[in-house]
Amino acid sequence: MFSDTHFHFQHFTENPEIDGAAVLSAMAERGCVFGLDIGTHSDDLLSREACVDNAIAQIKNTFLADKARAFTYFSAGIWPAPEEIQTRIKSLEILQNQITQAETSTDSDTLHRKIIAIGECGLDHHWNPSGVDGRCESDFDQKMLDGEKELFEMQLDLARKMNLPVIIHSRDAFEDTYRCIKNVGYNNGIIHCYSYGLEKAKKFLALGWYISFSGSVTYTKKSKIEQMKELISYIPDDRLLCETDSPYLAPVPFRGQTNTPLLIENTYNFIAEIRSITAQKLSSLVDCNIRKLFNLTV
C-alpha cells in the first residue's frame, strides 16, 4: 500500500536491531510497490546490492521474495562527508565505476539493476559533533565549503549526462544548495527530507523539484505547527513525496526508536490529515509521482 522513496538496506543487514528479511517480507505482504535504497558513499553501491540480495534470500516465502525483489530499486551518490569532499575527483570516478559494474555485471548471485537516480548528494551545514554524522564547523573552512559545492555540482552534472533524477540532501544550507542547482541548470529530482519553510519550497517548486517529507514532520514544535501545516498543504499533488530515511527520523509515536519502512504509514496518516484526504489517496498520489519521476511502468 505505502511506497517509500528512501531507505537503506545496508543498515537493515548491518544493524542488529533490524531484521532486513522480515522488513522486506512485511513490505511485500502489505503490497508496497516501490522502495528505493539510496547511496551515500562513492563505493557503497555493490555492497548495498549484495546486502539486499542476502536479505531477500532469507525470505522463505518465494512469492513474497519475488515481490520484494520487484519493488526494490537503487540510487548511487556521495553524501558530503569531509573525506569524500577532499578526494572528490577520485570519489566521483569510483562512483561511476560502481555504476558501470552494477549495470554490466552478469553475476546471477547478486542483484544488479539499472540505477534510477543519482544521490543522495548535496550540502550539509548542520554542525553537531555529537550527532551521528559527527560534523564539526571547524572541519569546514572556505576551501572545504567550496569543495563541498563542487562535489555536489559534479553529481548534478553526472545526473544530467545520465538523464537521471537527483536525490538532494540539503540541511541548513538553502542558499548554497539553490545556487549550485542554478549554476548547473539541471532541475530533475527530489529535495529529500525537506527541512525548510514555505517560501524556500516555492523556489524549489518553481524550478521543477519534488518535495519529500519524512517522519520528522510528525514532531514539529507546537510553536511551528501552523507553519508546517501551511507548508504541507501548499505542496501540489503532483510534486509531493513521502519517505522513511531509515533508520533515522522515526515518526510519532516511535520517535527516538530505530526507524524502518514499516512505520511509514504514520507519516502518511499525519500528512493526509493535514491535506484533508485519506492516507490511501495520499499513497496513490505518491505512487503516481514516483512512476513519473523515475520513469517506471510498475
Annotated binding site for a divalent metal cation: 6, 8, 120, 169, 192, 245
Which among 191, 184, 123 has a CA at the least distance from the CA of 156? 184
CB-side exposure of 255: number of CA atoms within 13 Å? 10
d(CA 277, CA 161): 38
Other CB atoms within 10 A of residue 25 CB: 21
d(CA 135, CA 142): 15
d(CA 102, CA 105): 6
C-alpha cell at 164: 537521471
d(CA 117, CA 74): 7
DSSP string of 200-262, one letter each residue:
HHHHHHHHT-EEEE-GGGGG--GGGHHHHHHHHHHS-GGGEEE---BTS-PPTTSTTSPP-GG
Question: Is the torsion defined by CA of 286, 189, 239, 233 positive or negative?
Answer: positive
Q: Which residues are annotated as a binding site?
A: 6, 8, 120, 169, 192, 245
Reduced to 3 states (helix: H, G, I; strand: E, B; else coil), residue 127 is coil
